[in-house]
Structure 1
Amino acid sequence: MNEPRRTAGLRGPRPWATNSEAAGWIAPGVRESALEFHRSMPGYAVTPLVEVPALAGSLGVGSLWVKDESNRFGLPAFKVLGASWAVNRALGPARTFAELAALVADRRITLVTATDGNHGRALAYLARLLGLRSRIYIPAGLPAEPVQAIRDEGADVVSTDLSYDDAVRAAAASVHADDVLIQDTAWPGYEDVPRSIVAGYSTLFAELDEQHPAGIGLVVVPAGVGSLLQSAIEHYRTPGRRTSILAAEPVTAACVTESLAAGHPVTVDTSAPTIMAGLNCGTVSTIAWPAIRNGLDAAVAVTDAETRAAQVLLHSHHVRTGPCGAATLAALQATDLRPSTAVVLVNTER
């Protein structure tokens, strides 16, 4: 395989990277669809796609839309899509959520993960719905509010003084007997569950297809370890699609941008604090990397100040978003990507 042509460097305070050949890459394999399973879950509803015409005009794009994941199954983020499908694949599989609940009834199972917030809460929520236990490992620096939200779902919370990557290792090392690890990043030897999580996220993009059937020119996705980004790339890198993909992440945790620029996975130091706690990840998921390497058009890192300003701007247009979701607008503002067609920002949380 030829090495993709890359451009990379610094623009002001930020690293950035592009791959000029990404649009021509076709994702291999057959993708799973989790949509029907999600539709069977209590409280399922399609999340809104909100047009923000005033911002489209100021940014010089054809139209601007926000796929708003600030309320998914009553939770403040999209993470439950991946966690629920992965739990189903690990403990079932079942065709419906009711069938899965019947399969696990009276089984002594503990769902285990490490989290920087929303994934852990989603897993604890699922454990409660299914009558299972959960144990959630928390890295250093996570604010008290998301930690309490995880406890409120009935989880056993294990607070650590570790980085996110080290908390993941601690959670994996703790698994024994009736524990089941549902981690949203992959490493050699642990790939099946993360693949299911990525497949679960596909529901978000399947909904987008129905909500905006005319086609989308650019989708901006918060990066993290790359699982949601992988789902986006695999969805849009299929024959006949012409959607570009931009990844957004903090300057203090730009593992996707640095890896895309280098052409190989790069681990970055994430000890510096950021308001984008859900994106404070230092290592790209191993299963996400091939899709990112070949199919991601561009990645850019943004500062906390830029993200905070973007969040205020979105709030002024009645879009509820947290810092990770607002990072998408900050990333768009930081680039010269201005398609004359539709741009969608994926607002991952509130």
Structure 2
Amino acid sequence: MPANLSPDYKKAEQAFRAARDESERLASLKDMLRTIPKHKGTEHLQADIKSRIKQLTEELAGPRKGAARTGPVHVIRRGGAAQIALLGPPNAGKSSLHVQLTGSRADIGPYPHTTHAPMPGMLAYEDIHLQLIDLPPISADFFESWFVSALQPADAAVLVVDISDPECTDHVVAILDRLDERKITLTDIWPAGGQASADAGEVEDARALDPFRVFLPTLLVANKIDRNPDPEDIKVLKELTGVTFPAHAVSAGSGQGLDALGRFLFEQLNIVRVYTKAPGKPAEMDRPFTLRAGASVLDVARLVHKDFAGSLRYARAWGGNVFDGQQVGPEHAVEDGDIVELHMR
């Protein structure tokens, strides 16, 4: 029986995916349950939503009265222009990569499972920062129970493998299988790489059937190329595993190839930087607001202040697609590098 989901439900579902923290996610789940059509075709989905509401409510309630919060935080609130999760098997050099890219103090050791909890860090790219989250390793016999919650806010994933390890193909297959068991799909479809493609349409169809499945655009990072692996090893890895993720070869030890990662993530996530100015004053060129391609002046106003959207009259814009100081409406699409001057009622 078809679900025939209503526009209000789809709006709530979209808000759930865009939620920045657990409280926002819980509010969206309650809206989804309130607006979902109640008939036999949605019984399984209703049950899934109720289960998620119960789980999130318990997580937000914290320990029982009198107990202390002693455990690590497993969900990192999204920060910077985007949140990217670092995934990989034990000893792939994931934490070393995190340290090199962000300057974090992630634990590094020549033994498996040195990472026990999410470790956030900021990768600087030009005048913005990308939030990289170092996560515990995944293997055929090890998978943290809280991984799904930790990946919910992520915009993308970086799958790190030791390309010099003869068993790296087995590691990739195990990781994909363990994630798929928990409704996490790593995909080669990036926002800048063809959302209009047939494959992207298939992802949207799959997401509509299972709104709680997480789809993460993924970059394959072949680490430890300083150990002189065969140049064809990445190609062989992709052929044997069937993955089609874009790939970069790097060395966290020597720094080789690391400079390319920030630009790739920035471009493929369709990040747009918008600078603001007050009337009669110069633009604040050191503090861009970050959005995604297709965002509007109204979206910029919401980022500047949550109350601005309701009182925005128009804006003046400077950029490649407008003449200097052109008056534009709230729905005007902004582009990377635009300067916007907001005018309120």
Shorter chain as normaliser: what TM range?
under 0.3
Larger radius of gyration: 2
The structure that is helix-richer by fraction is 1
State the TM-score, normalized to the length of structure 1: 0.26
Structure number having the greater strand percentage: 2
Relative contact order: is structure 1 or structure 2 higher (C-alpha 8 Å, sep ≥ 6)? 1
Q: TM-score under structure 2 normalisation?
A: 0.26
